[in-house]
Homo-oligomer: A and B are copies of this chain.
Amino acid sequence: MEKYVKMLREKNLKVTPQRLIILKYLNEHSTHPATDKIYQDLKINNPSLSKTTVYNSLEILEKHGIIQSITISGLEHRYDFRHEMHHHFLCKKCGRIIDIDVVCPNLGKMLECGHNVEEVHGYFKGICKKCMNKEKIKDGS
């Protein structure tokens, strides 16, 4: 838990129990959960937690680069404790969002264009390996 305290202090953010449990939750759940999922899960052991606080906390944590926000589904923001650049795969079948550890080699091109790039998001969508195998079995190999 001291780890999360340090992360907040380094950014001069107030250390609150709410921010700590949210950070801990994100670190321990690499499923890229949405706001409501985080809220529902944490509420069980923290009944006084407000959903607005979850929204506020995620926003400020993201603004300070502690966590990352993913918008792969188009329906909701999903959050990621890993803040360094990586890509994601959304399975249209099971809904899982999987980390893809590649870097985007197109940043040079972006510099040419003259735009100032602050974020890079790479999203792939399709059917994940696990779901593909399930289909094969159902089809009778």
Using CB atoms and an 8 Å cutoff, list the residues of chain A in contact with chain B. Answer: 69, 71-74, 76-77, 87, 89, 91-92, 98, 100, 102, 104-106, 109-110, 113-129, 132
Copies, count: 2
**A–B pairs, 15, beta carbons within 8 Å:** A71-B71, A71-B73, A72-B121, A74-B76, A87-B106, A100-B106, A102-B106, A106-B122, A113-B129, A114-B132, A117-B124, A117-B125, A118-B126, A121-B123, A121-B125
The 8 closest A-B pairs by CB, nearest first: A71-B74, A114-B129, A118-B126, A119-B125, A121-B123, A117-B126, A116-B127, A102-B106
Which residues of chain B have C-beta atoms less than 8 A from A106's C-beta? 87, 100, 102, 104, 122
